[in-house]
Chain A
Amino acid sequence: MFPAVKLPDGFVNWLAHRGWALRPHQARVLAAAGQGRNVLLIAPTGGGKTLAGFLPSLVELQARGRGGLHTLYVSPLKALAADIARNLVAPVSEIGLDIAIETRTGDTSAERRRRQREAPPDILLTTPESLAVLVAGADAPSMFAGLRRVVIDEVHALAGTKRGDQLALCLARLSVLAPDSRRIGLSATIAHRDAIAAYVAPDARPDGVALVEATGGAAPEIGMILPDGRLPWAGHMGLFSAPDILARIRDARTTIVFVNTRAQAELLFQELWKLNTDTLPIAIHHGSLEMEQRLRVEAAMAEGKLRAVVATSSLDLGIDWGGVDQVLQVGAPKGVSRLLQRVGRANHRMDEPSRAILVPANRFEVLECEAAILGVAANELDGDPPRPGGLDVLAQHLLGLACSAPFLPDDVFAEIRRAAPYAALTRRDFDDVLGFVENGGYALAAYDRYRKLFRDSEGRVHVMNERVARQHRMNIGTIVEEPLLKVRYRGGALLGEVEEYFANMLTPGDTFMFAGRLLRFLRLRETVLEVADGGTGEPKVPAYAGGRMPLTTNLADRVRRMLSDPGTWGAFPEPVREWLALQRGVSRLPGPHDLLVETFPRGDRFYLVAYCFEGRNAHQTLGMLLTRRMERAGFQPLGFVATDYVLGIWSARPPHDIAALFDQDMLGDDLEAWMAESSMLRRTFRNVAVISGLIERQHPGAEKTRRQVLVNSDLIYDVLRRHQPDHILLRATRADAAGGLTDVARIALMLARAKGRVRHMALSRVSPLAVPVLLEIGRESVRNGEGDDALLAEAEAALVAEATGEADPPPFIQTDRPKPARDRRQGRLLV
């Protein structure tokens, strides 16, 4: 396809000395790059991607010699940038190249950053955030003028995220500053390759990008282990499999035990250590642990000092640990692509198969694991295509551009549309975003004297003053921290962070599991939970919002197909086959194209169970809509519960006319109203408000004083929604939510599919397939704005019942707790 490029002698000798040869895909990248093409390389982990990405640069630099910034490498992870730097230095010195390689991340010292601006290295390794800071600098044009190559690592993990949006905008700017520069994108195997190629393209068009794919590679070997004897009906933690998991850890050299949530990581870690009589070195790693702790675990892993680490998605990406020879996935795999990503963390060599074992936590997960294994075998990649770029990120970027140099809106609009996430950006949205940055963009022209941008007589946009630019630099970035509370040993080390709701539920003396320890809660000081080791009683486990991924559509379809076809049941263990056969006897099995809905009485309640298979988030939305409709129909719904497969609703009166309940018009009447009130939309707005620069980011250390001037984003949301519902930030919020709410699209498709095919089974009692969801009742809590009043009324009634001797005292507010955190979102006032 591409004419072979002759590798300079120094490189050939180096490879020969190492006993290596250039792999075909590496040679093809070199050839395509040599022709001046932009390249997307798709290769599994261990495919020598990084070397492929840098080879063209190294060859060119050997010819050019020193002379300013030649290659920019961008990675989503700071650690990756540092690791790559280390790994590049060896071949560079062995080949005898004179090349300056440096990293620049949030951790780089101010002194070094200044030096990098004055005398940039030949190769600079950085992150999207640090690049955005460089692009917003007044010296950006001179710094990047000589740039020839941009290497984008882990493109698949960036495209479709806000960090990816920010990077795409910066890349568009780099193409203006350095029109001769070319891009090389490095990606894992992905479902939507055209979208990723478009992301790499300088004009958002995938066809101009040279696509190089590493072929071959051994297929992964994936197995499943089931616990002896029993197979649980419900639960997602998989703790009963701890003995089997420990046995597998013992049999392998190094294992990553992937789980789905941080709470699961804590629980499983404790369970493993209860059994770990050999004291195998087993560690824990998740996103809420203190960075120091995580780095220590990663270092120990790299040095081969650990036998296993229990990890969440915090280890999905990251540096290559050659020693990992086994991956366990405990709990539902959720998607084929995600599973492959995790499996690929074992055995980073292309020619040997990665070994992985799935450990389902309940019956439905057995079906899902089997479906995932088949999906991997069929290479049926899944996942959603990247969503359009966020308007909040655009707002941040426009202010950054103005800080760098005055610009003409027409030019910048054209530039931005060349970034794939913004290829479909309308002029109206662009102008409104610019208007927002300029003076807030409010219908009420109240803020003219506080504007941040002004236009000169030729229409060029300038930043108002240095203070605005300074504020902007403090706000760069698209990662918005949740308002979290630190966990710290009294007078000692920081352990990590928990959400505020969790702190609200703790009383001094309570025990909780965190950072792999059992901790006793002492008290809360400002935003810090003080703890000590030990404690007695049933430990609590902190949970985190948004921690759970929904099941992908592909996998859900596979599960549904397997359920409806007894011919495939041979792959299942005996208890699962019995369970499904029993279901077929007393009710029916969900078909591939219909919607099975069961109703049955139990106690003094009436239950409705719908087998939708659309993922937990979609089921929650559907539950909210259905209960509203049942309310109007007079069925008096009392609550609902959602799993990845099933929605269950209970009511005081028997529901009837089931098919009508699932009519498609459901999405019209209540969705808008519910969405606007939902906590999901409020959370989305908060992120949009921070990223767009509407409210200031909180910086550690400055929190105390800052808190006094912050305003709760919920309050801003309420005011804005009422007075300017079409404001650009609300449009940005709804667009983001719709992206996160692919579940609404899933509901719409499901309702359309089910039209005329709702199979209603009126049963006299609970069916075998309905048992798991009923067991979830009480474990899940669902809340929205309106529901809160009902919850308060419930709590109040419970207290009245207690006072009149009709009930046992339930727990309620106690003032002898140490003071809780002031709501950091809320921002306390000067008092």
Chain B
Amino acid sequence: MSAAPVHLAGERLMLDPEGGLFWPARRVLAVADLHLEKGSAAAVRGSLLPPWDTRATLDRLAGLLRRYRPERVVALGDSFHDDRGAQRLLAADQARLAAMTASFRFVWVRGNHDPSPPEGVGGESCAEFRLDGLCFRHEAKPGPALGELCGHHHPKAAIPTGGTVVSRPCFVFDHRRLMLPALGAYTGGLDIRDHAIASLFPRGGRVFLLGRQRLFSFAFAASRPAPAPA
């Protein structure tokens, strides 16, 4: 696994092929959109999905913690799929998460799926988190923002290659703003060409697609307005 460095607001950040971000200077690990207990949220509605999504997501998180040994973990919101998610955690998952928050300083940035602080899992909760020149928030604030790290949109990119199209979750970056891919095991993606994402990167930038061993980097051009609606 090799991480790729980028510079945002003068800070050097490492992008991890698993979808996390590490800030070596302050030993901060950032992850976005864990959507823990999305599986049980579906079960409540009658779709009995395999109940291991939380475990799978925590496995990924644990891998990142082992690799970077951060001082602080910032979860960029939508950490739980809904406000009752933390209460639905299975005992084993709950204990595992509690052990993580006991060993590392966890900051739960609140998201639209989890507007209230999670109960019984430790860590602190805030609407957004600032450190030095960087601001960690769930949803990007429209307009130019220097040093913003965000999640929310679950970006993915589709690359035409070899007669087909390969689509993967990705980081989106333009030297001012960095959007992280979703880390949750059951989280889907939104194409970066979607207006919701493209409008946040009006001058274009780079995408970093997640791969098995490394990231794959591509430039994307500035967005032009779509043809006028009918």
Interface, chain A (partner B; CB < 8 A): 439-440, 442, 444, 446-447, 450, 452, 467-468, 471, 490-491, 501, 504-505, 508, 522-523, 525, 530, 694-696, 709-712, 715-716, 718-720, 722-724, 727, 778, 780-781, 783, 786, 788-789, 791-796, 799, 811-823, 825-831
- Whether A796 lies near B216 (C-beta < 8 A) is yes
Which A residues touch B158, using CB under 8 A? 504, 813, 820
- Whether B209 lies near A792 (C-beta < 8 A) is yes
The answer to whether the Cβ of B103 comes within 8 Å of any Cβ in the partner chain is: no
The answer to whether the Cβ of B166 comes within 8 Å of any Cβ in the partner chain is: yes
- Whether A815 lies near B49 (C-beta < 8 A) is no
Which A residues touch B135, using CB under 8 A? none
Chain B CB within 10 Å, residue with most, of A440, A444, A792, A822: A792
Cα–Cα, bound, A709→B40 (Å): 12
User: For residue A822, which residue of chain B has the nearest CB?
Assistant: B190
Cα–Cα, bound, A719→B53 (Å): 7
Which B residues touch A827, using CB under 8 A? 188
Cα–Cα, bound, A799→B218 (Å): 8
Which B residues touch A694, using CB under 8 A? 47-49
| Among candidates A778, A786, A820, residue contacting B194 with C-beta atoms closer than 8 Å | A820
The answer to whether the Cβ of B193 comes within 8 Å of any Cβ in the partner chain is: yes
For chain B, what secondary structure do more than half of its interface residues adopt (helix, strand, loop), or is it mixed? loop
Please judge, given known A-B contacts A523-B227, A694-B47, A819-B193, whether A444 and B52 are in contact too, CB under 8 Å: yes
| Among candidates B39, B43, B165, B226, residue contacting A818 with C-beta atoms closer than 8 Å | B226
- Whether B35 lies near A467 (C-beta < 8 A) is no
A-contacting 9-mer, from B24-32, B121-129, B149-157: B149-157
Which B residues touch A816, using CB under 8 A? 221, 223-224
| Least Cβ–Cβ distance between B56 and chain A, in angstroms | 5
User: For residue A492, which residue of chain B has the nearest CB?
Assistant: B230
| Least Cβ–Cβ distance between B205 and chain A, in angstroms | 10
Please judge, given known A-B contacts A522-B227, A694-B49, whether A815 and B191 are in contact too, CB under 8 Å: no
Please judge, given known A-B contacts A813-B218, A822-B191, whether A471 and B46 are in contact too, CB under 8 Å: yes
Which B residues touch A791, using CB under 8 A? 161-162, 164, 166
Cα–Cα, bound, A822→B224 (Å): 19
- Whether B226 lies near A783 (C-beta < 8 A) is no
| Least Cβ–Cβ distance between B83 and chain A, in angstroms | 12
- Whether A504 lies near B160 (C-beta < 8 A) is yes
Besides A781-B163, A795-B160, 20 other A-B contacts (C-beta < 8 A): A471-B46, A504-B165, A523-B226, A711-B49, A718-B56, A719-B53, A723-B50, A783-B162, A792-B166, A792-B216, A795-B218, A796-B216, A811-B160, A813-B157, A819-B191, A819-B195, A822-B190, A822-B194, A825-B188, A827-B188
Which A residues touch B222, using CB under 8 A? 815
| Among candidates A719, A781, A813, residue contacting B164 with C-beta atoms closer than 8 Å | A781
- Whether A724 lies near B189 (C-beta < 8 A) is no
| Least Cβ–Cβ distance between A642 and chain B, in angstroms | 14
- Whether A712 lies near B188 (C-beta < 8 A) is yes
- Whether B185 lies near A715 (C-beta < 8 A) is yes
Cα–Cα, bound, A491→B165 (Å): 29
| Among candidates B39, B47, B55, B159, residue contacting A792 with C-beta atoms closer than 8 Å | B159
- Whether A696 lies near B47 (C-beta < 8 A) is yes
Cα–Cα, bound, A724→B48 (Å): 14
User: For residue A788, which residue of chain B has the nearest CB?
Assistant: B166
Cα–Cα, bound, A718→B55 (Å): 13
Which A residues touch B194, using CB under 8 A? 819-820, 822
- Whether A452 lies near B35 (C-beta < 8 A) is no
| Among candidates A508, A720, A830, residue contacting B50 with C-beta atoms closer than 8 Å | A720
- Whether B211 lies near A792 (C-beta < 8 A) is yes
Cα–Cα, bound, A792→B216 (Å): 7
Would you give the 0/1 interface string for B193-210, flagging 1 where the beta carbon is closer than 8 Å to chain A?
111101000001001010
User: For residue B228, which residue of chain A has the nearest CB?
Assistant: A523
User: For residue B185, which residue of chain A has the nearest CB?
Assistant: A719
| Among candidates A468, A792, A795, A828, residue contacting B46 with C-beta atoms closer than 8 Å | A468
| Among candidates A796, A815, A823, residue contacting B189 with C-beta atoms closer than 8 Å | A823
- Whether A491 lies near B49 (C-beta < 8 A) is no
User: For residue A530, which residue of chain B has the nearest CB?
Assistant: B230
Cα–Cα, bound, A783→B160 (Å): 13
Cα–Cα, bound, A530→B228 (Å): 12
- Whether B226 lies near A828 (C-beta < 8 A) is no
- Whether A789 lies near B211 (C-beta < 8 A) is yes
The answer to whether the Cβ of B187 comes within 8 Å of any Cβ in the partner chain is: yes
Cα–Cα, bound, A232→B159 (Å): 34
Cα–Cα, bound, A791→B35 (Å): 30
- Whether A447 lies near B43 (C-beta < 8 A) is yes
Which B residues touch A508, using CB under 8 A? 227
| Least Cβ–Cβ distance between B214 and chain A, in angstroms | 9
5 contacts across the A-B interface (CB closer than 8 A) = A444-B52, A450-B43, A795-B218, A815-B204, A818-B193
- Whether A820 lies near B191 (C-beta < 8 A) is yes
| Least Cβ–Cβ distance between A772 and chain B, in angstroms | 19
Please judge, given known A-B contacts A450-B43, A709-B45, A719-B52, whether A829 and B161 are in contact too, CB under 8 Å: no
